[in-house]
Amino acid sequence: MKLLAITLKDMTRSFRSVFALAFMFGVPLLVTGMFYLMFGGSVGSEGAAFTLPRTRVVVADLDEGSPYFQMDGDNAEDLQDMGDILTHMLSGPQLAELIEVTFASDALSARAAVDRQEAGIALVIPANFTRAMIEPQAVAEVELYHDPTLTLSPGIVRTLVERAIDSAAGPKLGLGVIVKQMEAAGLSPDAAQQQSLAMRLIGDTSGAPAELVTLRASEGEAPTADPLAAMLGLIMGGMTVFYAFYTGATSAQTIMTEQEHGTLQRLFTTPVTIPTVLGGKYLATGLTVLVQMIVLLVCGRLIFNIRWGALPEVALTILGTALVATSMGIFLISLLKTDKQVGMVFGVGLTITGMVGIFSAFTGGAPGASSVADRFALFVPQGWSMAALRAGMDGNGLVAVLPFFLGMLAWSVVFFFIGVRRFSKRFA
């Protein structure tokens, strides 16, 4: 009863503070809203989504192929070389809402189309593109020439091209290893044999060439149906996690402010125990973070059409985040002696760890940077929360979210026991 009274009192005070409300709800929504406006997104009737303007890509496919290049499957007649595969992928239905592909006869006219602003991007596939894919020593250079005023679409096209090339580079590396092993065994495959081997590896590893690049989206939606909503999801998810931890620390800070205002000492003159006071405050902080996250995620869904994933995954993420944000708040505040030290803890303890933890929200489209950021983020609790949120958004199921939830639980237990121990010693 007393514990719940303390919880209710603390929550009432939190939700009456304009400053706290602004940080809990205003700032995350504002930041996401700014991105929304920046990219000209609009929401219409139910199901309407953000759209990026289609980018015109003019392709100069100069690939001369290779006599050893042969494709099997439905599109085999159309796909004579690797250049064909790349252009086929770019002009496929999956990217139709993002990219409109036209063709030019040579590199010069492709670049000229960009200069005349008839296209945003020129993609020049060199004559030795296929040979570079299947000959061990050959190297080719794909050229992307784009309108300098464009910011987002060149990055998207570049990522798509890189992924396609990366997929073909695997078999080429495998070829090198096989050739070396054959030479070590006294066999010397000639160029024709090597290219034939390369084609077999490409066929084995990629299956149908049209599936060199696949994009995924949650809940079985068409992968590129709402790319800006997915990007906004990462940003708002990051903001939600970042400010959830702020709320955790700010709410836990009431222990310090009550101590400075004398109400904590007064509480200890009433027949209430220290664990009851700390328990009430812990519960209030946790519930405040819980309310904050639920409101933000619901707003994200309703205002920005963000799909957070299935309910059980989202619920587990919210619960884990509330636990770890609260415990981390109690831990951080337990390190302080006075309210004046709060800036240090918020600046170093929360802002830096928060930025590290949600960094992946801003590198979602860049494969290399994203994987580094993902790994680095797991050094801080915010990273685990962000990873859980992303696993849910990717539609990977409860099994994918569970490890991150357990990670958050582990952080919580450590923070909770250190924090409570320090406070108990202080008030004993």
For residue 272, state whether it binds other proteins (rule: CB under 8 A): yes
Query: By the 8 A CB rule, do 131 and 67 touch?
Result: no
CA atoms within 13 A on the CB side of 283: 16
Part in contact with other proteins (CB under 8 A); list of ranges 36-44, 213-221, 263-271, 285-293: 263-271
Which of 9, 54 has the CB closer to other proteins? 9
Q: How far is CA 360 from CA 64, 374, 399, in A?
A: 40, 6, 21
Query: By the 8 A CB rule, do 311 and 297 touch?
Result: no
For residue 269, state whether it binds other proteins (rule: CB under 8 A): yes
Q: How far apart are CA 143 and CA 358, in angstroms?
A: 33
Part in contact with other proteins (CB under 8 A); list of ranges 256-264, 314-322, 338-346, 415-423: 256-264
Which of 272, 291 has the CB closer to other proteins? 272
Q: State the residue for tokens 């985040």.
A: 321
Part in contact with other proteins (CB under 8 A); list of ranges 269-277, 357-365, 374-382, 414-422: 269-277
Which of 247, 360 has the CB closer to other proteins? 247
For residue 24, state whether it binds other proteins (rule: CB under 8 A): no
CA atoms within 13 A on the CB side of 306: 28
Q: How far is CA 73 from CA 37, 79, 328, 405, in A?
A: 44, 10, 56, 43
For residue 16, state whether it binds other proteins (rule: CB under 8 A): yes
Q: How far is the CB of 284 from other proteins (least distance, A)?
A: 13
Part in contact with other proteins (CB under 8 A); list of ranges 46-54, 108-116, 266-274, 319-327: 266-274
By CB under 8 A, name the one of 267, 314, 325, 420 that touches other proteins.
Answer: 267
Part in contact with other proteins (CB under 8 A); list of ranges 2-10, 86-94, 162-170, 381-389: 2-10
Q: How far is the CB of 420 from other proteins (least distance, A)?
A: 20
Which of 247, 353 has the CB closer to other proteins? 247
Q: How far apart are CA 211 and CA 85, in angstroms?
A: 10
For residue 2, state whether it binds other proteins (rule: CB under 8 A): yes
Which of 15, 417 has the CB closer to other proteins? 15
Q: How far apart are CA 240 and CA 325, in angstroms?
A: 11
Q: How far is the CB of 263 from other proteins (least distance, A)?
A: 5
Q: How far is the CB of 23 from other proteins (least distance, A)?
A: 16
Query: By the 8 A CB rule, do 80 and 126 touch?
Result: no
What residues pair up with 122 in beta bridges, in sequence order?
58, 145
To the nearest 10°, report the CA torsion of 264, 269, 274, 275.
Answer: -100
List the structure tokens of 415.
Answer: 């923070």
Q: How far is the CB of 283 from other proteins (least distance, A)?
A: 15
Buried/exposed code over 156-192 (b: 16+ C-beta within 10 A; e: otherwise) = bbbebbbebbebbeebbebbeebbeeeeeeeeeeeee
By CB under 8 A, name the one of 263, 341, 371, 424 that touches other proteins.
Answer: 263
Q: How far apart are CA 29 and CA 9, in angstroms?
A: 27
List the structure tokens of 26.
Answer: 């205003």
Count residues binding other proteins (CB under 8 A). Answer: 20
Residue numbers 319-348 binding other proteins by CB under 8 A? none
For residue 425, state whether it binds other proteins (rule: CB under 8 A): no
Part in contact with other proteins (CB under 8 A); list of ranges 241-249, 264-272, 337-345, 349-357: 264-272
For residue 261, state whether it binds other proteins (rule: CB under 8 A): yes
Query: By the 8 A CB rule, do 145 and 121 touch?
Result: yes
By CB under 8 A, name the one of 9, 54, 158, 422 that touches other proteins.
Answer: 9
Q: How far is the CB of 266 from other proteins (least distance, A)?
A: 4
> Where do contacts with other proteins occur on this chain (CB under 8 A)?
1-2, 5, 9, 12-13, 16-17, 261-263, 265-273
